[in-house]
Chains A and B, each alone.
Chain A
């Protein structure tokens, strides 16, 4: 920026202004006097060359050609620097090059905070206005792409006037998706959308509370323009409940301990009064002082059988939604993971299964009869050291550990003595993040598996090879089998074991609905096969129906932009509610509740160097070079006319008129 609204896009172009000095020097050169013919020299005295005449250069003659040539060179030099100006009126502001504007509209949770003292205007409102202004700059040939970034990314392009009008209407009515804006992914997407036949630019409209990877920004082959909405000086600071959770209290059946974190993003120490409610009743009212930027954890023991607890911070700040957080405790309606473990020595397996979030493990000995009936209602049955008879198979997913032969199933063909891992299917989801290096196994039978079974880990020893870990189906029910004995393997002492168990359970079971989500985070869970539709009711009572196609067992619900209690109803083919559950969306987030602009965002968008890319708050830039080139051409034409007319000295209006009259007459 070199002045009010004026920006030089290619400052190096100013080097061309050196020509001004060159032109002056050329005019300072003494030339051979021009020849003229006169009728007589009888009245003239011969000019005597003085010392000044003999010098090679003279002082710059202020002549009309010199001034016109300087003006033309000045206009061309400035044009080469590609000056652009804000809101230039008239045709001078018209761009000569079609433009592709890729607008990254930050729809993260922090954009829902207030823009200033006015408690009705959010930063999202201002961002939409800014996007609207950009849409108004559209000219024929331009393309405008708006990418709303948040928990979900929406991309819309428009290249015609009707499309632009529709896009403006859509932006006006769009609510912020919330969540965390992944600016790096958005920049990569913007880079992929660059059109080769247009002047591309990327405009990020945000409150500046973002983190960007400089390498990602520098890889984008278009200038990035950051427009910060909201005024940090006029905004209230923000405080938030940035996490909430609970765990059972030892030795107190049914009691839970609530843990939550209070964070301050204010520039100085603030006193936070807060309340804790259990099932709508205040059980604690207190306050604490938080230093600038401090986060402090608070623990409160909840009364027994509390189903819902809520924490409320009673202060007014820029983002009120994150001053309240709700937690649904176990049994309050959310769907947990019920696991039935059939084992005589459950030890490490029970611990690994019990560590899974929101899971409950029931252990029964291998001698328990009526397994099929017992397993009803469980999400997963784990058999350790036994295999159920074919007529007593549970009607759910199963995990077998060192199974024994029943009929033709799990037949063995010898034993591998302390096998080593021979082959691993590294791409299998079950093995993601599972490090089996150094894991040892005891004597392991060589199981004969079905051709359709999928071997994930194969072992080899004493000339034999056999599966150590595989997956398959029994009567249409999925199962995973560990062929090795846990007691004779060291895997239970390695971090790979709980990871392997977690991956295996996730692969075999329907994921439970989480009890809480951060604002904007998508709800992602696996449903049972009998579900045809899922109805989600948001805190405003609006219902979203998600149709579940055949062969799809995962549901994604991304409209979690409102904080509060959501209800999920799984519906069967006949419309009957098969299962109902709830989850809570809390607005508080360790990153998004920090509404303070990131001072290094500009540098990051400039690829680590703020001088490389224009990070400005300008808008509606118009190229001035066409106007400057026009001026230069007009001046050159005028200079030619002056040369033709022989007007070397600075003319009066009369002499100019006379000169042009002569030119016109001659023409």
Chain B
């Protein structure tokens, strides 16, 4: 059965040396893109502590006394505080769906959605840590595992990847609840990337949660992982005229028919669902990207960098 084959593939490390090498090449390209102003570190409008001097201001109560320029005090006999232009770092939060519906692929040679989701999560985390963004990763499953991070700095890359390797599929989790909890807990707004197939989500609830997060300054990206067979079920070789289908998430059984009307109905309902998913959050500071499992993770990363400019 396909699931067995998928397990056979998942035995391989998520991040092989080859995958890591390709990610590094993408990251090097992202630096050049950053210089071109399409991505990378943002120059902040805020003044703050930084080696790069910007200006002086008179000391006032509450200022960090560590920033007092004692040489200026000696010269001018007045307290001045050094202000500098600082580069901002993003808080990148990744919510990755590890429910059972993700642990599926239509063919033996295609990786499962979970594998692709974890690889994409690792790639984005790799890129963010490389650029000194603060990264946290939250798996969403029935028995929620401990969150990774937030961490900052390149020294955490290897640890993050090892942590991702240990994740495995679990029963259905509540993605909306996890997102709400994260937004509530974090005082500082950041970028929230949700990596999931979104198949088990109640889109109304999800939209409500997204609107709340956006209202608090969060930027949200829905990275939808899908298997090609989900877009074209007739191509699935295991489907015969009539099948007894089992929902991987709910274990519900239902007879389905692989004939033209049934497939057409399937495609229509999926199209409507996708339209709904794309318009979640009203399009303001939200983004929806479809990523097929057949697409290599480095290509996905390039696609995100080049066409969206989302990842810094």
Give B123-153 interface residues, CB cut-off 8 Å to A: none
Q: Is the CB of B109 within 8 A of A646?
A: no
Which partner residue on chain A sits nearest B253 by CB separation? A35
The contact of B243 among A34, A42, A61, A665, by CB within 8 Å, is: A34
Give A444-466 interface residues, CB cut-off 8 Å to B: none
Chain A nearest CB: distance from B169 CB in Å? 11
Contacts of B104 in A (CB 8 A): 37-39
- The answer, yes or no, to whether B260 is at the interface (CB within 8 Å) is no
Contacts of B255 in A (CB 8 A): 33, 46-47, 49
- Knowing A38-B247, A39-B197, A645-B237, say if A47 contacts B109 (CB, 8 Å): no
Q: Give the docked Cα–Cα distance between A43 and B232 (Å).
A: 12
Chain B nearest CB: distance from A653 CB in Å? 15
Q: Give the docked Cα–Cα distance between A33 and B253 (Å).
A: 12
Give B186-215 interface residues, CB cut-off 8 Å to A: 197, 199-200
Contacts of B273 in A (CB 8 A): 42-43
Q: Is the CB of B247 within 8 A of A40?
A: yes
Q: Mark A42-59, 1 if CB is under 8 A from B, else 0.
A: 111111010001000000
The contact of A39 among B1, B199, B244, B265, by CB within 8 Å, is: B199
Q: Is the CB of A33 within 8 A of B199?
A: no
Q: Is the CB of B244 within 8 A of A33?
A: yes
Q: Is the CB of B252 within 8 A of A41?
A: yes
- Knowing A36-B238, A39-B227, say if A45 contacts B248 (CB, 8 Å): no
Q: Give the docked Cα–Cα distance between A438 and B249 (Å).
A: 116
Contacts of A39 in B (CB 8 A): 101-102, 104, 113, 197, 199, 227, 230, 247-249
Q: Is the CB of B252 within 8 A of A35?
A: no
Q: Is the CB of A45 within 8 A of B262?
A: yes
- Knowing A33-B242, A34-B243, A666-B108, say if A40 contacts B248 (CB, 8 Å): yes
Q: Is the CB of B256 within 8 A of A40?
A: no
Q: Is the CB of A648 within 8 A of B237?
A: yes
Q: Give the docked Cα–Cα distance between A306 and B26 (Å).
A: 129
Q: Give the docked Cα–Cα distance between A301 and B70 (Å).
A: 174
The contact size tier of chain A is 20 to 34
Q: Is the CB of B109 within 8 A of A665?
A: yes
- Knowing A43-B266, A46-B254, A646-B237, say if A35 contacts B230 (CB, 8 Å): no
Q: Is the CB of B256 within 8 A of A42?
A: no
Q: Give the docked Cα–Cα distance between A39 and B101 (Å).
A: 4
Q: Give the docked Cα–Cα distance between A646 and B239 (Å).
A: 9
Q: Give the docked Cα–Cα distance between A37 and B253 (Å).
A: 9
Chain A nearest CB: distance from B88 CB in Å? 39
Which partner residue on chain B sits nearest A647 by CB separation? B237
Q: Give the docked Cα–Cα distance between A49 and B256 (Å).
A: 10
Contacts of A40 in B (CB 8 A): 101, 197, 199-200, 247-249
Give B33-91 interface residues, CB cut-off 8 Å to A: none
- The answer, yes or no, to whether B107 is at the interface (CB within 8 Å) is yes
Q: Is the CB of A44 within 8 A of B197?
A: no
- The answer, yes or no, to whether B270 is at the interface (CB within 8 Å) is yes
The contact of B107 among A37, A53, A61, A662, by CB within 8 Å, is: A662
List chain A positions with a Cβ less than 8 A from chain B: 32-47, 49, 53, 61, 645-648, 655, 659, 662, 665-666
List chain B positions with a Cβ less than 8 A from chain A: 1-3, 5, 101-102, 104, 107-109, 113, 197, 199-200, 227, 230, 236-250, 252, 254-257, 262, 265-267, 269-270, 273
The 7 closest A-B pairs by CB, nearest first: A47-B257, A40-B199, A39-B101, A47-B255, A39-B104, A33-B242, A646-B237
